[in-house]
Amino acid sequence: MKKLFGTDGIRGIAGQAPLDPTTIHAVGLALAHHLGQSPRVLIGQDTRESSDWIAAALTAGLTSGGATVESAGVITTPAVACLTRAHNFSAGVVISASHNPWQDNGIKLFGPDGYKLPDSTELAIEAEIFRHLSASTDIGQRTSDHVPPEVNDADRAEYVRFLLAAVPGLSLDGHRLVVDCANGAASSIAPELFALLNANGGGEVILSHVTPNGRNINENCGALHPGIVAKEVVAQRATMGITFDGDADRALFADENGKVVNGDAVLLLAARDLAARGLLTNATVVATTMSNMGLEAALKRSNIKMLRAPVGDKYVLEQMLATGAALGGEQSGHILFTGRSTTGDGLLTALLLLDIVHRSGQSLAELTADLKTFPQVIVNVHVREKRPLEGIPAVAAAIAAAEQELADSGRVVIRYSGTEALARVMIEAESEPLMRYHADAIADAIRSELGV
């Protein structure tokens, strides 16, 4: 079982283990050794104030292991995946904690093919990290010796060209868009990208939260707070809102009425569009255990099958590759299009959704009108440890009671977050009172046994 890597890399509070200089240096050293002789590594980062020194410490470890390092500077996670593959880098590394608060940070790893590393590879790298840490107590401590790698600004320009090429002929004419960049990595890409898309001036793009200061990433903005952009759409009388998370590997939307449009709705629209053009392989979409039963019903009406993977876009991708599915994603806004990207890409998703709306001649509200979702609640419980829930009698009893009463009229999904010290209680049911009763009962049981 992995100790450092979660569902999306290594994550924690910057400056504290496992994101202290010693461990970060060991991560770089272990990765370089894993990659073989004279590897080339691309690094990108988000806008957190800790990202620069983490990049410097990681670079020190990589170069100690014989690697050559190039930095794309502040850039989105999917951009690093894309550029790693395009330029035959041995690996890509992203320094980001995605949607987490500014105090946190993380390290995500991509292979030379642009895909996130499989669990088995992460386990092997993790074992070497621990060997380095046990062999030396002062490795990586001289932080004053750590120098960030030189930034190649051409990387961002190339990624913008990649995005534009994905939607040839896309026009913003007649559209007023509100775009929330979460004071994160999208701030370095979105202004130029949307300016180029609107070069003829036929539309209007209102950018918000594009002034990162190192500590305001995800703060009351971005995909973690989609209601913010939804309200702004109404206030600006816009046609659509787009909001990204801190590293822009996911996106959520708002229609012209100010209704939040999540990843489930995007999957529905993209699936129908691909199916209509004969591009939805095996008429199959891969979602996760968190996707609403309403999505499954809507896809079924369009003769599209939905498979469920564990939460985490890397696990969605694994099932997509195993089944040949062309489309997959998460309710949270990670959407994957095989053949176009190797990981969730919020900017690419936004452009492809805009293209669907443009070609359909309908509004986002009209396109999603028939998606009827079951009432769903997610309760997050902060926990001090992640013990198996089935082994805690009070918690197991609360879960069993919910499953028995909801039976065929709902779903109960209880899991630990792979990136935070949280237990997530998700219940979906036709009866909202029953849904909330059981969600609170299970959350209370977990809080009583494991709460902080």
Same domain, 396 and 305: no
The model carries a pTM of 0.88
Instruction: Please say which residue of 214, 229, 260 terminates a domain.
Output: 260
- Of 124, 153, 182, which closes a domain? 153
**CB half-sphere exposure, 450, CA atoms < 13 A:** 24
β partners of residue 434:
none
Instruction: Confirm whether 77 is domain-assigned.
Output: yes
Residues 260, 242: Cα–Cα separation, whole Å = 10
pLDDT in tens, 197-227: 999 889 999 999 999 999 999 999 999 999 9
Is the same domain home to 116 and 21?
A: yes
Whether residues 129 and 54 fall in one domain: yes
Q: Which position has the higher pLDDT, 7 or 439?
A: 439
Q: Give residue for tokens 């949307």.
A: 194
Residue written as tokens 């993977």?
A: 309
Same domain, 58 and 129: yes
Decide if 117 is inside a domain: yes
| Amino acid at site 248 | A
pLDDT per residue as tens digits for the range 325-345: 999 999 999 999 998 999 999
Under 8 Å CB-to-CB from 120, ≥6 apart: which residues? none
25 neighbors 61 (Cβ within 8 angstroms): yes
Portion of the chain with pLDDT greater than 90, in percent: 86
| Mean pLDDT of all residues belonging to the chain | 94
> Which is nearest to 130 in space by CA: 27, 7, 12, 20?
27
Of 305, 335, 367, which residue sits at a domain end? 367
Pairing of strands 327-329, 284-288: parallel
d(CA 218, CA 360): 32
Q: Is residue 338 part of a domain?
A: yes
With a CB cutoff of 8 Å and minimum separation 6, the contacts of 218 are 99, 100, 101, 102, 182, 183, 184, 224, 245, 246
* Cα–Cα distance measured from residue 349 to residue 355, given in angstroms and rounded to the nearest whole number: 10
Query: Over pLDDT 70: what percentage of the chain?
Result: 98
Rounded to an integer, the average pLDDT of 276-280 is 97
Q: Is 350 within a domain?
A: no
CATH number for 432: 3.30.310.50
Could you tell me if residue 159 is inside a domain?
no
Question: Is residue 441 in some structural domain?
Answer: yes
Q: Among this protein's residues, is 332 annotated catalytic?
A: no
Residues 72 and 125 in one domain: yes
Distance CA 83, CA 426 (A): 36
CATH code for the domain of 220: 3.40.120.10
Q: Are residues 398 and 291 in the same domain?
A: no
Nearest-CA neighbor of 235 among 201, 206, 265, 215?
206
Residue 396, judged by CB atoms within 10 A of its CB (0-12, 13-18, 19+), counts as middle
- What secondary structure letter does DSSP report for 150? P
Strands (E), 272-374: 284-288, 305-309, 327-329, 335-337
Helical residues (DSSP H) of 141-281, grouped into ranges: 154-166, 190-197, 226-236, 263-276
Q: Is 149 found in the same domain as 90? A: yes
Do 256 and 279 belong together in one domain?
A: no
pLDDT band of 110, cuts 50, 70, 90: very high
Domain that holds residue 181: 173-260
Is residue 165 in some structural domain? no
**Which pair of tokens denotes residue 105?**
């940070």
**Residue 216 shares a structural domain with residue 182:** yes
Task: Please check whether residue 163 lies inside any domain of the structure.
Answer: no
- Assess whether 27 and 103 both reside in one domain: yes
Q: How many domains does the chain have?
A: 4
Catalytic residue among 96, 98, 208, 341: 98
**Dihedral of alpha carbons 295, 269, 219, 247, sign:** positive
- Given this model, what pLDDT does residue 409 score? 83
Query: What pLDDT was estimated at residue 358?
Result: 92
Q: Are residues 144 and 68 in the same domain?
A: yes
Cα separation of 180 and 221, whole Å? 7
Residues 203 and 254 in one domain: yes
pLDDT band with cut points at 50, 70 and 90 for residue 141:
low
